[in-house]
Structure 1
Amino acid sequence: MTKPEIAKLGYVSLVTQDLEKSLGFFREVIGLEETEAINGVHYLRAWGDFEHHTLSLEQGERAYVKHIGWRTKAKEDVSGFKALLGDEGIAVETIAPWSTPGIGEAIRFEAPSGHTFEIYYDVKKPKAPEHRRSVLKNQTYKAWAKGISPRRIDHVNLHTSEDWQVTYKFFQEILGFKLREYLKVDDGDQILAGWMSVTSLVHDVALVSRKKDEIPTNARLHHLSYWVDDSQDVLRAADICKEYNLPICGPGKHSISQALYLYVADPGSGCTVEVFTGGYLIFDPDWEPVAWNESERALGNTYWGDSISAKEIVKYTIEA
């Protein structure tokens, strides 16, 4: 029997303690388009995203990530994952079709990392309003309407204090992620961070292992990332963030992934957003994961630009 497969990152469901600030940040600074708002939940996407949303925002008493959505390659993969997860003894909740706007039947579960994931296939792809619609038939909205204006969602970076062997095995053997690059201890095989993907990207998800006394909860989101087309867009993003008096980290370049980055936090939720471009794509079916040693961590994180220590990075995570 063929294993079910994940096709791509779908969306992040974010709860914020200040919805007004978060909406202002994501709509005006990042420049996302709002598809609709239903029952207090706002659904947003980038100008090049076709699906109903890549981010949902709602008010809560505290900021945290409710779940992260992944779209499968085929409709039958949803039930395939449900059976596979059940065989692993993982409790699975079935979400009725379209109870989340734009998303058909889904399953929701807690991964061994402590993060809640949602898996689905059926989606709606609403057209942009006529006055915002691009003349390009292969693009949803007119580009560059406001703010940083990223093209699409790119990846998420997750932190966990759960058992590293169990979590990496689950992500690879059950969910089907391929390890592209990883950071390990100098003397041994323990993985400290792994960059994994189901697409040709260097990573659709980065998973960072933490000691239990390093993070306040066992599952954290360090950042969600939106893609811009080139390096000039990252520099422009830095200008926009400074105009809004928002502290930034970067612009800079990672050695791992070779991508350009800029980090900025949503003032409403504290959620960090990475504006991301460059890097490389992987097409080789026999790709050998690139190993970095712990002593090379600083270089792996930052080829050039602002350097952040491993301890400082933790400060920019929120509960997931």
Structure 2
Amino acid sequence: LDIGVHVDVIPAGEDPGVGRKIRFNTPTQHVFELYAEMALSATGPAVKNPDVWVVEPRGMRATRFDHCALNGVDIASSAKIFVDALDFSVAEELVDETSGARLGIFLSCSNKAHDVAFLGYPEDGKIHHTSFNLESWHDVGHAADIISRYDISLDIGPTRHGITRGQTIYFFDPS
């Protein structure tokens, strides 16, 4: 499929434990690396008679990466790569009702509400947020306790998203 996007092939082993990758840039200047093989870490989930955890989660107890929202100018062209080349579907859009401009495009390749979103912004290459899965509302509250305890700047929450009813808390990464 030729959609005018330059792709670099990165050989297996360039990153420890990671198989062959392909790397490409979106029109919003975000770099993506896609791979299909990765070695399990020593603390990764077992595949034979697994316990719930090899090592009990600590900190905010994130169990996995959930999604990312990326900012940039040409969000339509960036989303088009994911739809045309990677078989994502548009799950939701934010549209300016006066001009018809697309302000946000939410894409999914799974059963989640979205896996990646592109949000209109006057600068390319920016991250709006990354999301990690927590198992329960209790864990969101526990994350709020950690945010408060370490005086981390809070953006919003704990709260719920309107469309998904997902429980969330937004904070600014202190690193």
Q: Give yes or no for TM over 0.5.
A: yes
Choose the corresponding residue for 2:13, options 94, 98, 104.
98
Equivalent residues in 2 for 1:230-269 (5 A)? 230-248=136-154, 249-268=156-175
Give the structure 1 partner of residue 62 of structure 2: 150
| Counterpart Cα distance in 2 of 1:110 and 1:190 | 23
Which consecutive unaligned segments of at least 5 residues does structure 1 have? 1-83, 269-320
Alignment pair present for 1:177 and 2:88: yes
For the residues of structure 2 that align with 1:226 and 1:191, how far apart are their CA atoms?
A: 26
Q: Aligned in 2, Cα 1:124/1:139: closer, same or farther, shift over 3 Å?
A: farther
2:80 corresponds to 1:161: no
Scaled by the length of structure 2, the TM-score of the pair is 0.87
Code of the aligned partner of 1:177: F
TM-score between both structures, scaled by the size of structure 1:
0.50
Partner of 1:242: helix, strand, or coil?
helix
Could you tell me which amino acid in structure 1 is paired with residue 129 of structure 2? H
C-alpha displacement at 1:126, in angstroms? 2.4
Amino acid at match of 1:126: S
Report Cα offsets for 1:3-59 as digits up to 9, x if no partner. Answer: xxxxxxxxxxxxxxxxxxxxxxxxxxxxxxxxxxxxxxxxxxxxxxxxxxxxxxxxx
Instruction: Specify whether residues 200 and 103 from structure 1 end up closer, same or farther in structure 2 by C-alpha distance, changes over 3 A only.
Output: same
Matched, 1:127 2:42: yes
Structure 2 residue matching 1:207: 3-state secondary structure:
strand
Structure 2 gaps, min length 5: none
- Which aligned pairs between 1:1-320 and structure 2 lie closer than 5 A? 84=1, 87-128=2-43, 137=50, 139-144=52-57, 146-162=58-74, 164-187=75-98, 189-210=100-121, 212=122, 217-248=123-154, 249-268=156-175
The alpha carbon displacement at 1:191 in A equals: 1.7
- Cα deviation, 1:168-210, whole Å, max 9, x if unaligned, reads 3222122221111221111454321122110100011111112
The structural deviation recorded for 1:253 is: 1.1
Which stretch shifts more, 184-193 or 232-241? 184-193
Residue type of the alignment partner of 1:151: T
Q: In 1, distance between residues paired with 2:53 and 2:3?
A: 39
Cα RMSD (Å) of the superposition?
Answer: 2.2
1:83-103 Cα offsets, whole Å, 9 max, x none, are x3xx22322222110111121
Equivalenced residue count is 172
- Distance, in Å, in 2 between the alignment partners of 1:89 and 1:183 is 26
**Do the aligned partners of residues 107 and 208 (structure 1) sit closer, same or farther apart at CA in structure 2, a change above 3 Å counting?**
same
- Check whether the contact 1:158–1:219 (CA below 8 A) recurs between aligned residues: yes
Aligned 8 A contact 1:181 1:256 in 2: no
Percent identity reads 29
Deviations 1:229-258 (A, max 9, x none): 111111111011111111212111111322
